[in-house]
Amino acid sequence: MTMHLPTPEPVPDTPAQRAADLHRWRRAFNASLAFVLLLAAVYSAQGGFDVRAWALQPWAWDGWRGLLAAPLLHGSFEHVAANALSLLALGTLAGGLYPRATLRALPLMWLGSGLGAWLLGAPGTFHLGASGVTHGLMFLVFVLGLLRRDRPSVAAAMIAFLLHGSMLLTILPHEAGVSWQSHMGGAAGGVLGALLWRLADPLPPRKRYSWELEDELEAVPAHDELEPPAPRDVPVLWHRPGTTDDRGAVLPFRPRRDD
């Protein structure tokens, strides 16, 4: 059994590359902040209407609109504040490192959160909040780190686990009044998104050794002291005596003398 450990090339630290990286991370932060501000605006306007009419009701056919509206609603200021911090951190991390995969997986997290609550929740209850989406973002980053295994992905997975590793447990029943069903559904959406679009964002360039370039016209000379040289470049330490090529000949050996 063999295991492939990719060895990426260092990304060229050019002004253009730094500007592109900064723009990508700034865009991810701004998008996460805009969504957090949207949640705050919706929470401030919740006093004017009945929240239960737009929350998700398990096994109620008239509660399907909660699939779209429930993640925008929250039951208290502490509820929206906790989800806002998670969304800001995980949204920036996922969107900055995996902009394409995050954008494609977001509908799966959003709808998965509602489907999990609708299928697994108790009838007569109401589910709301964006915690299912936050769980989806955390599982997306964590699983992508396991699948891609390049340095940025592994580092992002470690950061996500350090900040929100408890989400691995909150997808199961642990506290009354907490919708673990929506957590599980959002996490399932994040895992599915990671499996489907793990290669949507380009991988870092992989280091290529000289023996992989033998069929190319111009091989890049190796400058890594850990890379073994090509066989033709290995110095010969011993030569067969004589000038004739007597390979394949039977060499006589002196008979063994019995003492």
d(CA 51, CA 55): 6
Tokens, residue 36: 């957090």
Share of the chain above pLDDT 90, in %: 54
Helix and strand counts by DSSP (H, E) for the chain: 7, 0
Beta carbons within 10 angstroms of residue 112's beta carbon:
27
pLDDT digits over 190-214, tens only? 999 999 999 999 887 766 655 555 5
User: When comparing pLDDT for 18 and 249, which is higher?
Assistant: 18
Q: Is the pLDDT of residue 125 over 70?
A: yes
Torsion of CA 168, 169, 173, 179, to 10 degrees: -50
Domain ranges in the chain are: 50-196
* DSSP one-letter string for 132-192: HHHHHHHHHHHHHHHHH-SHHHHHHHHHHHHHHGGGGTTTS--STT--HHHHHHHHHHHHH
pLDDT at position 61 is: 82
The confidence score (pLDDT) of residue 2 equals 47
Looking at every residue in the chain, the average pLDDT score rounds to 84
Around Cβ 151, how many Cβ atoms within 10 Å?
14
pLDDT mean over 115-142: 94
Cβ-contact 105, 140 below 8 angstroms: yes
Of the ranges 121-125, 182-186, 215-219, which one carries the lowest mean pLDDT score? 215-219
Average confidence (pLDDT) over 57-63: 84
Any bridge partners for residue 206, and if so which?
8
What is the number of other CB atoms lying within 10 angstroms of the CB of residue 130? 28
CATH label, 50-196, candidates 3.30.70, 3.40.50, 1.20.1540, 2.60.40: 1.20.1540
Instruction: Tell me: pLDDT of 25 over 90.
Output: yes
Q: Are 159 and 107 in contact (CB under 8 A)?
A: no
Q: Is the pLDDT of residue 221 over 70?
A: no
Nearest 5°: the CA angle 56, 88, 132 is: 25
Kind and range of the H or E element at 26?
A: helix 15-45
Query: Of 59 and 5, which is predicted with more confidence?
Result: 59
Rounded mean pLDDT, 92-101? 96
Q: Scan for tokens 């399907």, then name that residue.
A: 64
**pLDDT at 258 (0 to 100):** 67
143-169 residue pLDDT tens? 999 999 888 999 999 999 999 999 999
How far is the C-alpha of 71 from the C-alpha of 189, rounded, in Å? 14
Q: What is the pTM for the complete model shown?
A: 0.75
Q: To which H or E segment does residue 54 belong? A: none
Return the amino acid letter for 23.
H
Lowest mean pLDDT among 40-49, 123-132, 194-203, 216-225: 216-225
pLDDT at 89 > cutoff 60:
yes
Tell me the mean pLDDT in the region 107-119. 95
What is the spatial distance between Cα 29 and Cα 198, in angstroms, rounded to a whole number? Answer: 21
Give the pLDDT confidence score for residue 105 in this predicted structure.
97
Decide if pLDDT at 255 tops 50. Answer: yes
